[in-house]
Homo-oligomer: A and B are copies of this chain.
Amino acid sequence: MRKLFQEDLHLVGDQLTDIAMRVTEAMEKAYRSFELADVQLADEVIAADTRIDAQQHDLDEKAIELLALQGPVASDLRLVVGALRMSTSLERMGDLARHIAQLTRLRFPDPVAPAPLVPVFRQMAVKDVAISKKLVELMESRELGVVFEIFALNEQINELHAGIFTTIARPGWEASPASTADAVLASRFFERFGDHGVSVARKVQYLVTGEWEAKPAR
């Protein structure tokens, strides 16, 4: 019985890692579709998100079944509850990649980003993809150093996000109001993706150390 439970727990962990991999791929493709105004790629991301949602649903059912059949306590219980929460954040990261793809589709054949912001969005996207790759690494290795790398990447994304508002407010900003609106929304999506990555990383950290780090004020 006990051994079976450990196997089930591993299965839940593997499913989480698998979702994190799909989320990484979703953000990679979403950003490429966004930069290249590639509507076909955007549609792939939108379609793939249904699979991420289904995987999350499966994982949650599995976790609830574990709670029901095994009645885990102490650290095992925290692990299962933690998995439920991580899957929610990962699913949300998939949604954000989909939102970026949907913006691409909405503005096609025009690109979403005003030209002066293209390099900034590229940096945000690279860091978002790095965060979700590091989540996979963290789930596989449980190396806590990775948690801090994720925090640092997210800080950089927050600065890029703030920088976009500064650029928009600066004299000489010439994009149309509609394009400005799209840029703000896109920036918010890239920024939230990082926040959810941090959420997942903090949960892994908590499960490994047993302690919550003080939540940074936002």
Interface residues of A (CB under 8 A from B): 53, 64, 67-68, 71, 73-74, 77-78, 81, 84-85, 88, 165, 168-169, 173, 175-178, 180-181, 184-185, 188, 215
Contacts and interface: CB of A to CB of B under 8 A. Distances in A.
Contacts of A78: 64
Interface of A is mostly: helix
A98 to B, nearest CB: 9
Contact of A67 (B81, B176, B178, B180): B81
A71 B66 CA distance: 11
One complex includes copies of this chain to the number of 2
A183 to B, nearest CB: 8
Contacts of A71: 71
Contacts of A165: 178, 181
Contacts of A73: 68
A173 B177 contact: yes
Contacts of A67: 67, 77, 81
A178 B184 CA distance: 10
8 contacts: A67-B77, A84-B85, A85-B88, A165-B178, A168-B180, A169-B177, A180-B181, A184-B185
Nearest to A53: B215
B81 A74 contact: no
Most buried by B among A73, A81, A85, A176: A81
Contacts of A188: 185, 188
Contacts of A173: 177
